[in-house]
Structure 1
């Protein structure tokens, strides 16, 4: 099965990603419009932090689109890390941008993130990253130097808790979750994911998905009209705050020559399926259905029009975990199952932002035994999570059934 969402297969998701070939973003003037959150400040303890996070994630998404428009003119901008995963100027640029801007606004809150500058220094990529960051930063500070950018990347990549301070509050960032999707093209999903952790609890999150689009004609939920406003050729941003729900709106990119039309926030909810054989499943691109315990009870098909008895609908694979959380939180998928593997470490930044978005949309996230995911289990660096068996993400209605079925393993 293809590792990426192709246009024909993506129709199974009832979404469309028609190919577009816009003019390079460097030749157009874009602004990122700040906007209020969809709930009152009195209701959200971390309103200011979430508002800042939305702004920086939108700028990070613009950076991704900007880099992507010229990416393949520069072969040296794509390199492979030691774990055989790709990394690009956009990955480093997003991490630097988020580190710089949040560090300016919240200097006491450290950042835990995926990358460090060693790859840039050894592959001579620092200058393209600096240019990308400065081009996408807010108008407040355009004077950042190469040293500032490299230091900002390392603030997220180094152990923020190495000196025994272990702050109770910290940001967790995945600069680009699904870099292979970023490299694939406009029809593939990737996510910029940012979350704020306080005393081991996820308090807020923002996920930006520049390529997200939907065809709502066949959306099997009763509130179809509520999602019409997030149709956009420039993707969506999804936010969640503890106790305030999960919300989405169009990414706020606009050309300065156009009339501003404010984006409207829409509340997101998981789907309503309560029978396993009717649910829509997604799994990691690195795993197969046959490797999961549920395969003993159900076979899988990717053809939505021919789901038979004892079969489930398996959605086409897409890169990264956060886009799968996004699909569950928005009602696109019912279940996401990830199996832990001994040789692969599960990182907090692949899950933190998605967990609260699913919870606040009405779903559930646990390990295979039904335990909550412990983001503070890694006392050293807050980077690793240790779910028993793996991670189960559902619409809530199906959660206990899926947990029982994974216990067959």
Structure 2
């Protein structure tokens, strides 16, 4: 894989998709439909997917592509592939809360090694450089010219005063019960893959997810977190979360800065 090209292409496609998403977001109304699993989908999901998929297939025709909005791609058995969630946080989009993201990642041998997470309504753009280091770029974002970037790194957590981030739309009692085992200094909620990025920037120490997710929900944020010195582990046994699983479904997991002492599941 040409990582210089990959970084450039993923960043540009995320920005193009973000522009289309915001165009639809600004409309007075937009259609919301239910997919077969009852999750919502909008024209923004589909338009962003079309932009990203076409761009990735043109740039990397020999690399398998998995994307949330194309169910035919979910039956593949692969360990090295591109994976896309064109609009993560559709519920946040529908409720116009702004915490939705564009997610593109490259998984190599089951590990998300490069990725981009773009939150267009929040003006936040995170991605891995060609060497794997994660950065946050500050806007305004130009497609053909990278702006100011800052390397990001996870926190040095204090286990007596942890900073925790949890899901805004999927918080439940089991999550709260687990978090209550820790000494928590501050707790925040966030939507979509932004939670991974908050751990990657040191704005949070860890993020537990005790609920169903798919690999396209997590791969880009996982790659950004990896590039900032963090990690994602399975909730049940604290081993690394891997990718290319059957139907691309994740077990429960914890995203964290090294140094957080994890409690047993």
What range is the shorter-chain TM-score in?
0.7 to 0.9
Q: Compared with structure 1, are the counterparts of its residues 48 and 281 closer, same or farther at alpha carbon in structure 2 (3 Å cutoff)?
A: same
**Which residue in the other structure is 1:318 paired with?**
190
**Which residue in the other structure is 1:4 paired with?**
none
| 1:190-223 per-position Cα deviation (integer Å, ceiling 9, x unaligned) | 11010012222222101111122xxxxxxxxxxx
**Which residue in the other structure is 2:163 paired with?**
280
Give TM-score, length-normalised by structure 2.
0.88
The farther-off stretch of 240-249 and 88-97 is: 240-249
Q: Compared with structure 1, are the counterparts of its residues 332 and 161 closer, same or farther at alpha carbon in structure 2 (3 Å cutoff)?
A: same
The farther-off stretch of 100-109 and 237-246 is: 237-246
2:104 to 180, 190, 194: 194
**Which residue in the other structure is 1:49 paired with?**
6
How far, CA to CA, are the matches of 1:91 and 1:333 in structure 2? 28
Does 2:258 align with 1:393? no
Q: CA deviation at 1:273?
A: 2.3
**Which residue in the other structure is 1:33 paired with?**
none
Q: Compared with structure 1, are the counterparts of its residues 311 and 355 closer, same or farther at alpha carbon in structure 2 (3 Å cutoff)?
A: closer
1:329 to 200, 223, 232: 200
Q: CA deviation at 1:295?
A: 4.8
Q: CA RMSD in A?
A: 2.6
Does 2:95 align with 1:184? yes
**Which residue in the other structure is 2:227 paired with?**
360
Does 2:29 align with 1:73? yes
Q: CA deviation at 1:314?
A: 1.7
**Which residue in the other structure is 1:209 paired with?**
119
Q: Compared with structure 1, are the counterparts of its residues 287 and 66 closer, same or farther at alpha carbon in structure 2 (3 Å cutoff)?
A: same
Structure 1: gaps spanning 5 or more residues = 1-43, 116-155, 213-234, 255-259, 299-309
How far, CA to CA, are the matches of 2:177 and 2:135 in structure 1? 33
Q: Compared with structure 1, are the counterparts of its residues 295 and 243 closer, same or farther at alpha carbon in structure 2 (3 Å cutoff)?
A: same
Q: How do 1:159-174 residues align onto structure 2 when only pairs under 5 Å count?
A: 159=73, 162=76, 166=77, 168-174=79-85
Q: CA deviation at 1:49?
A: 1.5
**Which residue in the other structure is 2:55 paired with?**
101
Given that 2:40 and 2:91 are in contact with CA atoms closer than 8 Å, whether structure 1 keeps it comes out as yes
- Point out the structure with max Rg over C-alpha: 1
Give TM-score, length-normalised by structure 1.
0.59
**Which residue in the other structure is 1:246 paired with?**
134
**Which residue in the other structure is 1:153 paired with?**
none
How far, CA to CA, are the matches of 2:51 and 2:113 in structure 1? 22
How far, CA to CA, are the matches of 1:350 and 1:160 in structure 2? 13
Q: CA deviation at 1:312?
A: 4.1
The alignment partner of 2:225 has SS state of helix
**Which residue in the other structure is 2:149 paired with?**
265
| 1:37-89 per-position Cα deviation (integer Å, ceiling 9, x unaligned) | xxxxxxx952112211111111011111111111x334xx2223343332111
Q: CA deviation at 1:291?
A: 4.2
Q: CA deviation at 1:175?
A: 1.0
Provide the aligned length of Structure 1 versus Structure 2.
263
Given that 1:161 and 1:167 are in contact with CA atoms closer than 8 Å, whether structure 2 keeps it comes out as no
Given that 2:7 and 2:114 are in contact with CA atoms closer than 8 Å, whether structure 1 keeps it comes out as yes
Given that 2:81 and 2:107 are in contact with CA atoms closer than 8 Å, whether structure 1 keeps it comes out as yes
Greater helix share, structure number: 1
The alignment partner of 2:26 has SS state of helix
**Which residue in the other structure is 2:16 paired with?**
59
